[in-house]
Amino acid sequence: MEKIIDNHCEDNHREQGEGSPSQEFPHNLRLLNVSKYLFRLRAETPLRLPPYKGSAFHGAFGHALKRISPFYYQEIFEPGNDGAKPKPFVLLPPLEIEEYYPVGHSFTCELTLFGRADHFFPICHAALEFLGREMGLGQDRGKFAVEGVERACPFGADHSPADVSSLSCEDIAASCPISLTDCLTIHLPTRLRLKTDGHLLSRVPEFHIFLARLLGRINTLSSLYGGGRMVELALRDQLISRARERIRLDLDGTDACWHDLPRFSGRQQQWMKFGGLLGSVSWQGTAEDFRPFLSYLAIGEWIHVGGKSSFGLGKYVVARQG
């Protein structure tokens, strides 16, 4: 299997240089591994898909898994007896808004597996191939072929062993450094759905709310699929308190707003709201104020944050200088 380099991570790795001081990370960042795979696909018949394709890919992928292996469907799509646990994957669809793919059109999707779920990669690969070859995708059940799979890697070509597919969160944090600055901006290419007090947050979040949800997701994934809680409760409370006291929302640098997106749930046989925040969010503080959060923010770029993340929602990219 080939590897594909995460470009902004590789660029930042180069900028650090060999003479740059190494950054130390808490040993707990090794408690969860993350594996990311890029599937290169080609339309075999015309495909008609909605502007945001996450629901179409997610639902069809689940049906394909159930067809070829009900056991693995249960493990991957309904973890736990009640299926209430977060799924051990993110399936990021093509983010282009085109709704029609002609024959021969090339597109991609990205599968991220957490911790022990990396063992499910062969069955996930088989399910996507079965989906494209036998079941079809979208309104017209268009067929597609899996032309290749590449593993995403945050290291440059000289820094990653060819046989490594799973990276620890420490690897990710070390190789995707975020520059210290007095302003932190994230871009939201897919909808961000955060809850506070049990309700979806339709306004732009303060940093401590965003951080609390991110740390919660990191802890949940590392507890369920890794080696245990990554951020101890006392440290979590300290980080959230620091964020609340020192970081403020920068409205001038923020343009994110709520965008609704209805979707039909085949499982529940009803239309459901699928909205969230799209755009950019900026927060202000000093460089030192932001320092304790940077490792977790880099990890979050790989694992997403907020609700419906397995559909590809909650993806964010931290703006980096240069």
Flag the least confident range among 4-18, 111-125, 126-140, 202-216: 4-18
Is 116 domain-assigned? no
pLDDT in tens, 102-159: 999 999 999 999 999 999 999 999 999 999 999 999 989 999 999 999 987 654 434 4
Flag the least confident range among 73-87, 91-105, 254-268, 290-304: 254-268
pLDDT at 229: 96
For 254, residues 6+ apart whose C-beta sits below 8 A from its C-beta are 204, 279, 280, 281, 282
Report the range out of 4-8, 24-28, 82-86, 110-114 with the highest average pLDDT: 110-114
For the segment 70-94, the average pLDDT, to the nearest whole number, is: 90
pLDDT at 13: 44
Is 4 domain-assigned? no
Question: How many domains is the chain built from?
Answer: 1
For the segment 266-282, the average pLDDT, to the nearest whole number, is: 81
Matching residue, tokens 């590449």? 150
H/E segment holding residue 226: none
- The range of the structural domain enclosing residue 194 comes to 177-318
Backbone angles phi, psi at 200, to 5 degrees: -65, 140
| Closest listed residue to residue 108, CA positions, set 264, 7, 260, 4 | 4
Tell me 81's DSSP state. S
21: pLDDT strictly greater than 60: no
177: pLDDT strictly greater than 50: yes
Angle (CA) 27-30-36 rounded to 5° is 150
For 123, residues 6+ apart whose C-beta sits below 8 A from its C-beta are 65, 68, 69, 72, 76
Flag the least confident range among 87-96, 119-128, 176-185: 176-185
pLDDT at 179: 86
pLDDT at 319: 94
CB atoms within 10 A of CB 104: 8
1: pLDDT strictly greater than 50: yes
pLDDT at 270: 64
Matching residue, tokens 């969230």? 276
CATH classification at residue 312: 3.30.70.1900
Percent of the chain past pLDDT 70, that is, above it, reads 83
pLDDT in tens, 38-80: 999 999 999 999 999 999 999 999 999 999 999 999 999 999 7
277: pLDDT strictly greater than 80: yes
Is 63 domain-assigned? no
Is 81 domain-assigned? no
Place 266 in a pLDDT band, splitting at 50, 70 and 90.
Answer: low
Place 176 in a pLDDT band, splitting at 50, 70 and 90.
Answer: confident
Flag the least confident range among 226-230, 310-314, 318-322: 318-322
pLDDT at 227: 96
Is 217 domain-assigned? yes
Q: Is the model's pTM score more than 0.85?
A: yes
Between 265 and 319, name the one with better pLDDT.
319
CB atoms within 10 A of CB 21: 6
Flag the least confident range among 2-6, 19-23, 244-248: 19-23
Is 57 domain-assigned? no
Is 83 domain-assigned? no
pLDDT at 218: 97
DSSP H helical ranges for the chain: 7-16, 54-68, 70-77, 121-130, 169-175, 207-225, 233-246, 287-290, 294-303
Backbone angles phi, psi at 95, to 5 degrees: -95, 0
H/E segment holding residue 283: strand 276-284
269: pLDDT strictly greater than 60: yes
Is 225 domain-assigned? yes
pLDDT at 159: 41
Backbone angles phi, psi at 263, to 5 degrees: -140, 150
| Closest listed residue to residue 153, CA positions, set 121, 110, 186 | 110
